[in-house]
């Protein structure tokens, strides 16, 4: 298929790369020149703008940081036209960014007015999952759109869920990431407590993995440096899933809770921890660097 891919960051680059490997004709665009060059060397074509990338595309995929970027891409900014306005055909649009359900519904409705199907399809699985083509896609949108998207998503992911109508993909993703934020900070807290009381973090990790405290953060994303080979913690928390993005997702969970009069005491605690960690200068480190917050004064 002829696919336009917009947003080649930590996640978008390996996702676009897997589409190229699956034999799709991929045209990429990012604001960062080096990211486009890397994809070009893998066989993708590069475009000078999102509009140019989308020209002639049957499918457009975007993987951007936050709602503000997604809205400005599709709807325009400062009175300027957005990508939806410039479309000459009716491609299927899949936005894989994590944004608020309201923003997703707003862009989907604007697309529908032009007869274009727009899906919110946030992902789970991290950079490791993106590289391995093993992401979980959580899709919100029409059943027909979901079936149309499935073969494309299968080139980048293993578990493809239809969560419901537009926005439902984001609701499910935000619930998941609130839980992840809680689990990562809880895991970091437990490890710091054990180490302060004489435990080897690797030994403690192994014990908890085989015990009732085992969880995804501990099992595949250990936040203590040196415990897990290849983890973000073992490369000085570079790359991965940034603290600022986790803080954004916990903020989305907070907004969702406010809007639905839900109580999220654990999610609020996690939001405050990641916001504090970001304010202390760790926004661009992987989110597992929350471990550092528990190691101050060591
Ligand atoms: P990132 O910051 O690494 O990448 C975002 C990319 O978008 C950057 O390369 C940036 O230059 C580009 N960009 C921004 N505005 C643009 C525009 N107008 N046109 C073209 N390119 C533009 O972020 P990421 O880690 O790849 O995450 C992307 C999304 O996926 C976020 O919503 C994040 O919450 C979500 N997510 C991330 C992970 C993870 O582990 N990193 C996991 C699941 C979901």
The predicted complex's ipTM stands at 0.99
pLDDT over 90 at 117, yes or no: yes
Residue 69 Cβ contacting ligand 1 at under 6 Å: yes
- For residue 277, tell me if it sits in a domain: yes
The tally of domains found in the chain comes to 2
Whether 258 and 157 share a structural domain: no
Same domain, 189 and 122: no
Mean of per-residue pLDDT scores for the chain: 97
| Residue 79 confidence (pLDDT) | 84
Residue 80 pLDDT more than 90? no
Give the pLDDT band (50/70/90) at residue 236. very high
Same domain, yes or no, for 17 and 158?
A: yes
Looking at residue 272, which CATH number applies to its domain? Answer: 1.10.1040.10
Range of the domain at 224: 171-293
The SS3 call for residue 181 is helix
Tell me if residue 23 falls in helix, strand or coil: coil
Give yes or no: residues 128 and 18 share one domain: yes
- Ligand 1 pocket test, candidate residues 4, 9, 78, most atoms within 8 A of CB: 9
Answer whether residue 186 is part of any domain: yes
Residue 256 resides in a domain: yes
What's the chain's Rg over C-alpha atoms? 20
Q: Of 106, 92, 71, give the one whose Cα is nearest residue 142.
A: 92
Q: 13: Cβ below 6 Å to ligand 1?
A: no
Average the pLDDT over each of 101-105, 115-119, 293-297 and give the range with the smallest value.
Answer: 293-297
**Count of alpha carbons within 13 angstroms of residue 152, beta-carbon side:** 26
Mean pLDDT throughout 63-92? 95
Question: How far does the centroid of ligand 1 lie from the alpha carbon of residue 69, in Å?
Answer: 9
pLDDT score for 283 = 98
* Inter-residue long-range contacts of 259-268, CB under 8 Å, 24+ positions, other chains counted: 264/178, 266/182, 267/178, 267/181, 267/182
| Residue 298 belongs to some domain of the structure | no
In total, the chain counts a number of residues equal to: 298
Mean pLDDT confidence for 229-242: 95
């Amino acid at each position: 298929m002829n696919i336009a891919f917009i947003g080649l960051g930590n996640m978008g680059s390996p996702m676009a790369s897997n589409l190229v490997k699956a034999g799709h004709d991929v045209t990429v665009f990012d604001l960062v020149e080096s990211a486009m060059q890397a994809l070009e060397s893998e066989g993708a074509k590069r475009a000078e703008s999102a509009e140019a990338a989308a020209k002639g595309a049957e499918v457009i995929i975007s993987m951007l940081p936050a709602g503000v970027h997604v809205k400005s891409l599709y709807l325009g900014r400062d009175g300027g036209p957005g990508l939806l306005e410039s479309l000459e055909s009716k491609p299927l649009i899949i936005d894989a960014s994590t944004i608020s359900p309201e923003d997703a519904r707003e862009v989907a409705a604007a697309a529908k007015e032009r007869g274009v199907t727009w899906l919110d399809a946030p992902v789970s699985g991290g950079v490791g999952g993106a590289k391995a083509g093993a992401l979980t896609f959580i899709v919100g949108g029409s059943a027909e759109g979901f079936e149309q998207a499935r073969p494309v998503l299968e080139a980048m992911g293993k578990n493809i869920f239809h969560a419901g109508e537009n926005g439902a993909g984001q609701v499910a993703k935000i619930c998941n990431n609130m839980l992840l934020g809680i689990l990562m900070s809880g895991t970091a807290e437990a490890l710091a407590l054990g180490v302060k009381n004489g435990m080897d973090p690797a030994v403690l990790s192994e014990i908890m993995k085989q015990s009732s405290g085992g969880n995804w953060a501990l099992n595949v994303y250990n936040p203590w440096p040196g415990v897990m080979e290849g983890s973000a913690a073992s490369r000085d928390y570079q790359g991965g899933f940034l603290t600022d993005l986790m803080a954004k997702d916990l903020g989305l969970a907070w907004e969702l809770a406010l809007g639905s009069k839900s109580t999220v005491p654990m999610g609020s605690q996690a939001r405050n921890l990641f916001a504090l960690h970001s304010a202390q200068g760790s926004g661009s480190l992987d989110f597992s660097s929350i471990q550092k917050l528990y190691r101050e004064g060591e």
